[in-house]
A and B are shown apart, each in its own frame.
Chain A
Amino acid sequence: MNRSITVIEIDGQAVPFDEGQTIMDAAMAAGIYIPHLCHKPGLTPHGSCKLCTVDVDGRSVSSCTMPAVNGMKVSNNTPALMEVRKSITQMLFVEGNHLCPSCEKTGDCTLQAVAYHLGMLDGHYPQFYPKRAVDASHPEILLDRDRCILCALCVRAGREVDGKEIFAITGRGIDATLSIHSESGLLGDSDLSVDDLAAHICPVGAILIKDEGYEVPIGRRTFDLHCIAEPGLEPVILRKGDHTDA
């Protein structure tokens, strides 16, 4: 069958897409980077972090959830949108307790990498200094809620890939929090196993595997060697430093 080619325009560049793809899908396939934190190909798009915000014909949409429509004109890499994304990233920093120099995830952290990419030099907004619980009950996995950005990647990875109910977002507004599906509410009593995608997918240092801290020295970590905007980096990010970079 002779199928007509469907195309959207991202910053003036023609980008083909298949029926059912989102703007993000089309951009990724074409090697165009749209900053994002709560999105991971293969999982149901969430649309909550709003970092992938783009303007479509003057309207603000999340590129990870908005279906591509033939002829759409998308603004992505504009100074105004980079400024918006920087503000959103700063919001994520100040609402939690993100102390990069003392975090094991530094250099492998997507939030940090996005911040560098966007030229973020400070938190800008006043710090919230929330009090959040650390959960070290699991023998192999640590949960440090101070660094959680509520992206729900672990929630979806558990449900959609691991086939388990492990994590959920509970609470409302600024009190929204990452909760554990177990009677005690502790990670150690949940079904989470160190082999689950849910244990590895965290883009920040909220869910860490114990006993492998600092295996890759600082200076040789993912974003010490790569810029977040490089095409095809997703699998490398997921492997967390375990890459053949030399």
Chain B
Amino acid sequence: MGVESSNDVQGADHLLHRLYEIQLKYGYISKEVMLCLSKELQLPITQVEGVVDFYSFFYRTPRGRYHLLFSHCTSCGDLSLMQRCCEVVGISAGETRSDGLVSIDSTSCIGMCDQGPALLINQLPIVNLDDARIDQLVLLMEQQTPICDWPSDWFTVQEKVCRAGLLLHDTLEVGAGLRAALRQGREALLQSITDSGLRGRGGAGFSAGMKWRFCREAVGEAHYVICNADEGEPGTFKDRMLLREHADTLFEGMTIGGYVIGAEKGFLYLRGEYRYLLSHLQQCLVMRRQQGLLGSSILGEAFNFDIEIVVGAGAYICGEESALIESLEQKRGVPRVRPPFPVTSGYLGQPTIVNNVETLVAATHIALHGGAWFAAHGTASSKGSKILSISGDCARPGVYEYDFGLTIAQMLEDCGATDTQAVQIGGPSGRLIAAKSFDRTIAFDDLATGGSMMIYGGQRNMLNVVQNFAHFFAHESCGFCTPCRVGTQLMKNGVDKIATGHGTAYDMDELKRLSSMVKRRSHCGLGQTAPNPILNAMESFPEAFIGVLTHHEYEPYFDLDRSLNEARRLTGRDDAEAHLS
């Protein structure tokens, strides 16, 4: 049957990697190139096109030799800087200048929230942007200075661990966790992981011990370990720090997982925004192979395991584990129907564990120190510690590690946040918490979170925050199911209508009804959480909406002046005479 190919593909020949190379070389991916590639890789042309059109970092039309993507995140984004850049360069966002030198656009959060505003230039992050840096940057581009000759400190991503706890207060000796694991043997180790009470750190909180046991017991031709390093939730960057500072501990956790479930192969799925970490991670893998910690007969035991890194290309949905697996299989990142779950039918239909970076780092520590050591920390339902990414309106943004059970108030005090009106716990897909609830705690049975903590001070317009998130989800919906594909667009339009002063009380009711439906009826976690910011904000900050409503009973969506946008664009006019009002 001519079904989509799902061969196990090695490194460089992975469709995502080949497309990245082509994008880098030509600045775009032409139909001709796609046809050649589809023949060479023996994939249907529709699969190649499908992937090109699905991932944000692939383009069908030429981008500039300098391609700038400004983060559109409430913590590491500032689109007024993009606007300034566009004006100086002389193009609009989304365009490529006619001389092919530069193109500018916005992108979803790039994970630099503790050192924003930030952008990606040709996939490299530039942090701590301000007007002066934008002006310098434009000058360097106009002079066609190669990026490698730009000031190196612009590209230096600082890893600020502001508070180290259980896992971060020491760096483990390379190989120590793995040696301890092999000494214990599979069954004892699995028992230790289970006893530790370790639950998934991505936010869903499934027991790591149970996941590993289900996978180990599942029958298959091969088993696989996947590390989900597609840290795409706006406001989170703790995995970036772990990947940079604790890569050995992470790879060791993957190896331990492979040892327990009987896998010989592991994948690290790295988000495209973190491509700048790739060489560091590859180097770390090379070292581990040389030290006998990866490859055949690891540490002299009858255990073979190796790790491959696959880099994404700009798709938040690939953080959903089954979409991630689809992406590994060189397809569009569309979440699968479940059941079956990855533990029985994952990568190539084989038993697979998918774990968060932080979970795997914790597993290495548990292998070394034991389950009881871990379980002695945290609360009854939530053992151990949680690493938080704290950003937004506070004096000391950065990575903070706490035992589970801390209050939001404590966290705010520690990071120097004063006059806080709200915290977005767990990013846009999480929960918006207002000041009256700051006594609530970080724990699976209270506020479960993947670790994104976006702080909003008193001066913030919460409606604009909600608007930002509504645009984010509409942009990131994969389009598979009707409620999310259409619903995220309708929610975006509804919030925009209210935020631009055209909303009525009827529109607010409509938005609420729609949001509830999308939340309950969508296929996967994206659609099921996309309405959260709207619903939470309507409940906690109703005045942000009500204050800007018009007092008509009904105001149509149709806006005569806006409908002339296309005509204005085509004629190049934007003067007063070209507007109705």
Chain B residues, CB < 8 A from A182: 45
Q: Is A217 an interface residue, CB under 8 A from the partner?
A: no
Chain A residues, CB < 8 A from B460: none
In whole angstroms, what is the CA distance A65 to B488 when docked? 23
Q: Is A79 an interface residue, CB under 8 A from the partner?
A: no
Interface set, chain A 43-100, CB cutoff 8 A to B: 45-51, 53, 60, 62, 65, 67, 84, 87-88, 91-92, 94-95
Say whether B485 contacts A176, CB under 8 Å.
yes
Q: Is A169 an interface residue, CB under 8 A from the partner?
A: yes
B531 to chain A, nearest CB (A): 13
Q: Most chain-A CB neighbours within 10 Å: which of B476, B479, B523, B558?
A: B479
Q: Is B54 an interface residue, CB under 8 A from the partner?
A: yes
Q: Is B339 an interface residue, CB under 8 A from the partner?
A: yes
Interface set, chain A 167-199, CB cutoff 8 A to B: 167-176, 179-183, 185
**What band does the interface of chain A fall in when counting residues whose beta carbon is under 8 Å from B?**
35 or more
Chain A residues, CB < 8 A from B476: 173
A48 with B480, Cβ < 8 A, contacts A180-B46, A183-B45 known: yes
A171 with B479, Cβ < 8 A, contacts A179-B50, A181-B44, A181-B45 known: yes
Q: Is A165 an interface residue, CB under 8 A from the partner?
A: yes
A207 to chain B, nearest CB (A): 16
B457-497, CB under 8 A of A: which get 1 and which 0? 00000000000000000111111111101111110010000
Chain A residues, CB < 8 A from B332: 169-170, 172
Q: Count of B residues near A, CB < 8 Å?
A: 44
In whole angstroms, what is the CA distance A115 to B317 when docked? 31
Interface set, chain A 7-46, CB cutoff 8 A to B: 45-46
Q: Is A125 an interface residue, CB under 8 A from the partner?
A: yes
Interface set, chain A 151-165, CB cutoff 8 A to B: 158-160, 163-165
Chain A residues, CB < 8 A from B522: 50
Q: Is A128 an interface residue, CB under 8 A from the partner?
A: yes
Say whether A170 contacts B54, CB under 8 Å.
yes
In whole angstroms, what is the CA distance A150 to B482 when docked? 9
Say whether A87 contacts B517, CB under 8 Å.
yes
Q: Is A126 an interface residue, CB under 8 A from the partner?
A: yes
In whole angstroms, what is the CA distance A183 to B480 when docked? 25
Residue from B4, B31, B315 in contact with A172 in the complex, judged by beta carbons closer than 8 Å: B315
B29 to chain A, nearest CB (A): 13
Interface set, chain B 304-348, CB cutoff 8 A to A: 315, 332, 337, 339
Chain B residues, CB < 8 A from A171: 50, 53-54, 479
Say whether A168 contacts B488, CB under 8 Å.
no
Chain B residues, CB < 8 A from A47: 337, 481, 523
Say whether B486 contacts A92, CB under 8 Å.
yes
Say whether B46 contacts A50, CB under 8 Å.
no
Chain B residues, CB < 8 A from A91: 482-483, 486-487, 490
Say whether A174 contacts B485, CB under 8 Å.
yes
Q: Is B557 an interface residue, CB under 8 A from the partner?
A: yes
Chain A residues, CB < 8 A from B488: 173
A190 to chain B, nearest CB (A): 10
Chain B residues, CB < 8 A from A163: 1-2
Say whether B477 contacts A174, CB under 8 Å.
yes
Say whether B337 contacts A45, CB under 8 Å.
yes
A88 with B480, Cβ < 8 A, contacts A53-B521, A179-B50 known: no
Closest to B315 in A: A172
B8 to chain A, nearest CB (A): 21
Say whether A173 contacts B475, CB under 8 Å.
yes
In whole angstroms, what is the CA distance A51 to B523 when docked? 12
A175 with B53, Cβ < 8 A, contacts A49-B482, A88-B521, A164-B2 known: yes
Residue from A62, A159, A174, A183 in contact with B1 in the complex, judged by beta carbons closer than 8 Å: A159
Q: Is B296 an interface residue, CB under 8 A from the partner?
A: no
Residue from B35, B475, B477, B486 in contact with A94 in the complex, judged by beta carbons closer than 8 Å: B486
A23 to chain B, nearest CB (A): 13
A143 to chain B, nearest CB (A): 14
Chain A residues, CB < 8 A from B49: 170, 179, 185
Closest to B54 in A: A172
In whole angstroms, what is the CA distance A47 to B484 when docked? 13
Say whether B44 contacts A95, CB under 8 Å.
no
Residue from B46, B55, B339, B479 in contact with A181 in the complex, judged by beta carbons closer than 8 Å: B46
A107-127, CB under 8 A of B: which get 1 and which 0? 000000000000000000110
In whole angstroms, what is the CA distance A179 to B54 when docked? 13
List 16 A–B pairs whose Cβ atoms lie within 8 Å, in order of A's numbering. A49-B481, A50-B481, A53-B521, A92-B482, A158-B2, A159-B1, A168-B4, A168-B47, A173-B478, A173-B479, A173-B489, A174-B477, A174-B489, A176-B485, A180-B46, A183-B45
- List the interface of chain B (C-beta within 8 A of A): 1-4, 31, 35, 44-47, 49-50, 53-55, 315, 332, 337, 339, 474-483, 485-490, 493, 514, 517, 520-523, 557-558
Q: A84-B520, A180-B46 are in contact. List 5 more A-B contacts (CB 8 A).
A: A65-B337, A164-B2, A171-B54, A173-B474, A174-B479
Q: Which 6 residue pairs are nearest across A and B when measured between Cβ atoms?
A: A176-B479, A168-B46, A165-B2, A91-B486, A170-B50, A126-B557
